Amino acid sequence: MPLVADVPWSPECGENEQPKTFKLNYYVDYDRGIVIRPFDPDAHPFELKVNGWIQFRHHAFARSATTWTDNAGVTRPIRNRNAFDIERGRIVLSGFAVDQRLRYFLQLDGDTDGAHLVDFFDYWWGWKFSDLFQLQVGKRKVPGSRQWLMAARRTRFSDRPMANDFFRPDRTIGIFGVGQLNEVIHYEVMLGNGYSSSNVPNADSDQQFTFAATNYFDPWGNFGGEIVDYDYTEGALVRFGHSFVYSPNSGDTLGIPLGEADFVRLSDGTRLTETGAIAPGVTISSFDVVLYGLDFAWKSHGWSIDAEVFLRWLNQLEGNGALPVTSLFQHGYYVEGGRFLVAKKLDFNLRYSQVSGEYGNSSEYAAGINWYPTQSNQLKVSFDVTTLDGSPLQNRSSDILVGDAGTLFRTQFQAEF
C-alpha cells in the first residue's frame, strides 16, 4: 500500500492543462470495525476505530415463592416479570493519537436498566512502552475475575454466571498496568478508588485505595477471547488464571457507611451495610474485602468448558454496636460447558453456579443454545433457561434480582460491527 495517495482534482481544467493533485494522508477501511488510518503513521500519528454492538433481550421470570426475608428481618416481594430490554447498546472508540504509543479507549453505554441514559463505561488513555508494559490512566474494570474481564458479548449464555456477578468487582478510576510477558502470559495490575465505585462521586468515597491484579497463562497457544469453541480448534487450547483484590472500606463515622460500601451482600442477599444485617440495630460502616479467584478454560474440536472458584473474606467488620463476628468468609464457583452441534452455526451449553457463606447457600442451574445465522460470531441469537433457589445477587444486567426463587427465561438478539 502506498504511503500517500495522489488524487487528481481539477473541476475547471482546460484541454491542455494538467489536473492538480492533492495528497490523502488517511484512508477508511473496515477491520472488525470502521477504521480511519494514516498511510504513514509516523508522519500522521492518529488512528480511530469505531465499534458498536447491541443486545436486545426478552426476559420472563416465573416465581416459585412470593416473598423473601433477609437476615435483618425485612420481608420483600418476589415479582413475576415479563419484558423486553435493550440490555447493552454500546459504541466504542479506540486508537492512538499524537504518538503511536499514546493509546485511547472510550466505551459509551445506554440500556433500559440505566433509564436509557448514556454512560461513560470505560475511558482511559495509555502509554505503550512495549508489549511488556502499557500504563493506563482513567476508568475501566477492576481486574478481579476472568469472566468479568471478558467482553459481555462473548459469554456462553445471555449473561455471566450468578456466582461471578455476586463476587466480581465493578469499574473504578485509577492507574492500570497491562502487558504480555511473552505470547502466552498476560497480566494486569491496578491501584484505584474502590472495589465497585464506577459512578460513585468522591463525596461518597473513602480515603483508601483498592489494589487488584490478575494474570493468565495459555501454555498451548493463544486461547483467544471466545470461551465457546467457535473456531473448532484443532488439537486443544487451555487457559489457567487467577485474580486478587484487596479493598479496605471505611466510613467517616461508625454506623454511617459511605455510598462506596453498598456493593457487598451476605450470602443470603442482605446488604452488609443494612441496619441489622448481622446484629439487631447495628449498622456496619467499615470492613476490608479480600477476593481471590482461580480460573480454568479448555476447548477442542467444538467442545469447551470453563470454571472459576471464588474465595472472599470480609475482615475488620466495625459498626455502631457490638457484633457477633468480626469477619466473614464467602465462597462460590461456576462450571460451564458446551458443544457445537453444527460448526459455527449452533451450540448447546450447560451451567451450574453456587454461592455459599455463613448466612445461606444458593444455586443456579442453566441450559441454553446459541444460533449464529450468518456463520459469524458478529450475529448471534441466544435462548436459555435458568433455575434459581433464592438469589443473593442483585444485577439487572443479567435479569437476576436478589431473593429470586423460580425460573428465568431469556431470548436475546446480539449484533456487532
- The model's pLDDT over 345-373, given as tens digits with 9 standing for 90+, comes to 999 999 999 999 999 999 999 999 999 99
Position 323 scores a pLDDT of 96
pTM as predicted: 0.92
Q: What is the mean pLDDT of the chain?
A: 94
Q: Reply yes or no on whether the pLDDT at 178 is more than 90.
A: yes
Position 38 scores a pLDDT of 96
C-alpha cell at 283: 449498622
Mean pLDDT of 402-406: 98
Position 50 scores a pLDDT of 98
The CA distance from 329 to 310, in Å, is 11
Beta bridge partners of 370: 347, 382
The CA distance from 334 to 166, in Å, is 11
Name the maximum alpha-carbon separation found in the chain: 97
Position 297 scores a pLDDT of 98
Q: What is the pLDDT of residues 243-290, one digit of tens each?
A: 999 999 998 888 899 988 999 999 999 999 999 999 999 999 999 999
Q: Reply yes or no on whether the pLDDT at 36 is more than 90.
A: yes
Mean pLDDT of 378-387: 98
Mean pLDDT of 382-394: 97
Pairing of strands 405-416, 21-24: unpaired
Give, in order, the Cα–Cα distances in Å from 226 to each of 176, 229, 252, 371, 376: 24, 7, 44, 15, 13
Taken in order 38, 41, 43, 47, the sign of the CA dihedral is positive
In terms of residues, how long is the chain? 417
Position 324 scores a pLDDT of 95
| Candidate from 9-18, 187-196, 226-235, 378-387 with smallest mean pLDDT | 9-18
Question: Which is nearest to 377 in space by CA: 352, 350, 355, 344?
Answer: 344
Mean pLDDT of 162-171: 97
**According to CATH, where is 2.40.160.10 located in the chain?**
45-416
C-alpha cell at 322: 457490638
Position 3 scores a pLDDT of 42
Q: Reply yes or no on whether the pLDDT at 5 is more than 80.
A: no
Half-sphere exposure of 272 (CA within 13 A, CB side): 34
Question: Which is nearest to 397 in space by CA: 55, 51, 65?
Answer: 55
Q: What is the pLDDT of residues 48-81, one digit of tens each?
A: 999 999 999 999 999 999 999 999 999 999 999 9
Class of the 45-416 domain? mainly beta
Per-residue pLDDT band for 37 (boundaries 50, 70, 90) equals very high
Position 16 scores a pLDDT of 63
Amino acid letter, 148:
W
Per-residue pLDDT band for 17 (boundaries 50, 70, 90) equals low
Q: Reply yes or no on whether the pLDDT at 11 is more than 90.
A: no
Position 115 scores a pLDDT of 80
Position 199 scores a pLDDT of 84
Q: Reply yes or no on whether the pLDDT at 117 is more than 60.
A: yes
Position 182 scores a pLDDT of 86
Q: Is 30 exposed, middle or buried (0-12, 13-18, 19+ CB in 10 A)?
A: exposed
The CA distance from 21 to 164, in Å, is 58
Half-sphere exposure of 198 (CA within 13 A, CB side): 13
Position 304 scores a pLDDT of 98
